[in-house]
């Protein structure tokens, strides 16, 4: 039963009949939207192309518009910079770094990825638990500024050890971005709104990957040798410059969470309504960062089900396929450096389509499992082509491009976590961060053993593509059926525990 507006602290001065009528109309709209939203919790919204739940009031639409404009815009910009900085090392590697510094035989590129992942493993859970105590408006832009400074320092590196140390620091602070922003999105948006917005958020990272390739291609043409610096060194400088406006924007406009926001662009009614929207779904923030947090987290099914899913996704090494694509194009010796940087960005177009499309479909059908399984079938085809490694370059190029569909798993899993953890903010924050850290942890030895950069692009000796194909199949089955089965069993078990016993009746 929803609380009247007076009970959630909304008081309006009564001065004129017009204002009274306006208040009454707004309250009626609010009640209608509450009724509609409660009905929509059990049924997926009707219609394919919708941005709001059917029946959403004008006042709620205005609130959601502000969230999309300020919260979602910063989230997209931050993740754009994150992926730009995460992908710049591979663009620099194939654009002169390897030759200038004599890299290659020692699998230096793989080790740069490894040290980055170690930093992410350590930093992710620490960062997300800090978000439950520190305002996101300070924490997330602060981490962005810090890792951007380390990215800038990369332009001075002349040996592998310096790259390894800086990549660790970048990974440590960059680990705040994905799980942290997903956590904050889950604080503001309803279940039926999360999939599309999580998809749009991660799409910005795809654009960052693509832009990194285009930026390096442009720098190779116009900046190589300027001020005595190679084009690949200029890439790190430009990446830092692009991050500064985003940092400033975040400090000013990021709205924190509904229960501690001081955003100047939200009215008092909108702040209360934002909290009420989450309360109506049974996701009122509960729990404290005390001793009980260990029991709530480590005895939860969400921690293990979603961590296994993300680990399987990481073990496919799908996020490194763009690197392998570039290394293969370079090995053909038929493409120029700008082309080697630009052609792999076509994977981003596929990723963009699947991010948006799977978000809409998941919201439409109200389930994520079937969507994950369908994407897994396409990814299985791509890895089967990599495993067979046919003589047709056209088929391999098609498989590389289509494998860009892998990226939609991250917003689908993140939205699933946000929806299934209820109001336990510590559980939700920890699961989002831990599953990423676990994914980074398991992929470190796997990448070094199965996908070392020195063996790219065929990985014949290490059987990399064969093992990757096995994990793609496992990923498709677990996310397609396994998580839903576990959720159904655990939910049914809790429902039985909550029923009164015969002797208590």
Tokens in use for 153? 């320092």
Q: How far apart are CA 114 and CA 349, in angstroms?
A: 27
pLDDT class of 290 with cuts at 50, 70, 90: low
Q: Which of 40, 38, 72 is nearest to 363 (CA)?
A: 40
Q: How far apart are CA 54 and CA 40, in angstroms?
A: 8
Domain edges within the chain: 59-279, 290-496
Quote the pLDDT of residue 493: 66
Tokens in use for 368? 């994520």
In three-state secondary structure terms, 286 is: strand
354-385 pLDDT, tens digit each:
888 887 788 778 889 999 999 999 999 999 99
As its CATH architecture, domain 59-279 has Up-down Bundle (1.20)
Quote the pLDDT of residue 370: 95
Quote the pLDDT of residue 463: 87
Quote the pLDDT of residue 498: 54
pLDDT class of 17 with cuts at 50, 70, 90: very low
Residue 93, pLDDT > 80, answer yes
What is the CA angle 342-347-353, rounded to 5? 130
Residue 501, pLDDT > 60, answer no
Residue 423, pLDDT > 80, answer no
Q: How far apart are CA 291 and CA 460, in angstroms?
A: 50
Alpha helix locations (H) across 43-107? 58-66, 73-92, 98-101
What is the CA angle 84-435-363, rounded to 5? 80
pLDDT > 90: percent of the chain: 33
290-496 CATH? 1.20.1250.20
Write the CA distances from 199 to 44, 214, 355, 361, 421, integer angstroms.
Answer: 17, 23, 5, 11, 19
Write the CA distances from 303 to 6, 239, 273, 382, integer angstroms.
Answer: 38, 35, 30, 30
- Contact between 57 and 38 under an 8 Å Cβ cutoff? The reply is no
Residue 247, pLDDT > 90, answer yes
Q: How far apart are CA 317 and CA 320, in angstroms?
A: 5
Residue 426, pLDDT > 70, answer yes
* Mean pLDDT, rounded, of the chain: 82
290-496 matches 59-279 in CATH topology: yes
What is the CA angle 189-195-199, rounded to 5? 110
What's the chain's length in residues?
Answer: 505
Write the CA distances from 104 to 93, 107, 111, 290, integer angstroms.
Answer: 9, 6, 11, 49
Q: How far apart are CA 323 and CA 318, in angstroms?
A: 10
Residue 220, pLDDT > 80, answer no
Average pLDDT score over residue span 250-278? 92
Residue 27, pLDDT > 70, answer no
Quote the pLDDT of residue 302: 94
**Highest-pLDDT range among 346-350, 397-401, 462-466:** 397-401
Residue 484, pLDDT > 70, answer yes
Q: Which of 46, 6, 60 is nearest to 278 (CA)?
A: 60
157 phi and psi, to 5 degrees?
Answer: -70, 140
Burial of 373 (0-12, 13-18, 19+ CB in 10 A): middle
45 vs 438, residue with greater confidence: 438
Quote the pLDDT of residue 42: 38
Tokens in use for 486? 């576990």
| Radius of gyration of the chain, Cα coordinates, nearest whole angstrom | 24
In three-state secondary structure terms, 501 is: coil
């Amino acid at each position: 039963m929803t609380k009247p507006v007076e009970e959630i602290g909304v008081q309006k001065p009564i001065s004129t009949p017009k204002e009274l009528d306006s208040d009454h109309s707004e309250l009626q709209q609010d009640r209608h939207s509450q009724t509609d939203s409660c009905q929509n919790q059990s049924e997926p919204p009707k219609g394919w192309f919708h941005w709001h739940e059917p029946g959403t009031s004008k006042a709620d639409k205005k609130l959601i518009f502000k969230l999309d404009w300020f919260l979602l815009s910063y989230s997209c910009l931050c993740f754009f910079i994150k992926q730009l900085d995460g992908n710049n090392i591979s663009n620099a590697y194939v654009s002169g770094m390897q030759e200038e510094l004599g890299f290659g035989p020692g699998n230096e590129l793989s080790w740069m990825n490894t040290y980055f992942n170690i930093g992410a493993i350590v930093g992710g859970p620490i960062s997300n638990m800090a978000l439950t105590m520190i305002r996101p408006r300070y924490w997330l832009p602060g981490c962005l500024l810090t890792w951007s400074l380390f990215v800038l320092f990369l332009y001075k590196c002349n040996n592998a050890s310096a790259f390894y140390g800086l990549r660790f620091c970048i990974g440590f602070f960059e680990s705040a971005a994905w799980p942290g922003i997903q956590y904050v999105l889950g604080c503001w948006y309803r279940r039926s709104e999360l999939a599309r917005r999580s998809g749009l958020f991660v799409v910005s990272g795809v654009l960052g990957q693509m832009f990194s390739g285009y930026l390096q291609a442009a720098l190779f043409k116009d900046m190589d040798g300027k001020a005595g610096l190679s084009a690949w060194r200029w890439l790190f400088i430009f990446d830092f410059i692009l991050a500064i406006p985003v940092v400033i924007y975040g400090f000013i406009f990021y709205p924190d969470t509904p229960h501690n926001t001081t955003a100047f662009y939200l009215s008092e009614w909108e702040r209360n309504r934002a909290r009420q929207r989450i309360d109506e779904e049974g996701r009122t923030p509960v729990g404290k960062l005390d001793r009980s947090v260990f029991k709530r987290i480590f005895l939860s099914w969400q921690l293990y089900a979603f961590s296994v899913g993300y680990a399987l996704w990481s073990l496919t090494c799908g996020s490194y396929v763009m690197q392998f694509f570039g290394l293969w194009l370079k090995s053909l010796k038929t493409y120029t450096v700008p082309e080697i940087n630009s052609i792999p960005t076509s994977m981003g177009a596929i990723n963009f389509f699947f991010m948006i499309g799977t978000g809409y479909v998941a919201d439409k059908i109200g389930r994520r499992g079937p969507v994950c399984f369908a994407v897994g079938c396409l990814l299985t085809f791509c890895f089967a082509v990599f495993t067979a490694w046919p003589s047709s370059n056209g088929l391999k190029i098609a498989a590389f491009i289509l494998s860009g569909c892998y990226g939609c798993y991250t917003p689908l899993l993140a939205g699933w976590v946000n929806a299934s953890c209820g109001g336990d903010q510590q559980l939700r924050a920890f699961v989002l961060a831990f599953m990423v850290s676990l994914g980074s942890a398991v992929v470190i030895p796997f990448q070094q053993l199965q996908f070392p950069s020195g063996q790219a692009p065929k990985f014949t000796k290490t059987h990399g593509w064969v093992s990757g194909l096995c994990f793609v199949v496992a990923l498709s089955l677990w996310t397609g059926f396994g998580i839903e089965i576990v959720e159904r069993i655990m939910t049914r078990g809790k429902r039985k525990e909550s029923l009164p016993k015969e002797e208590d009746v």
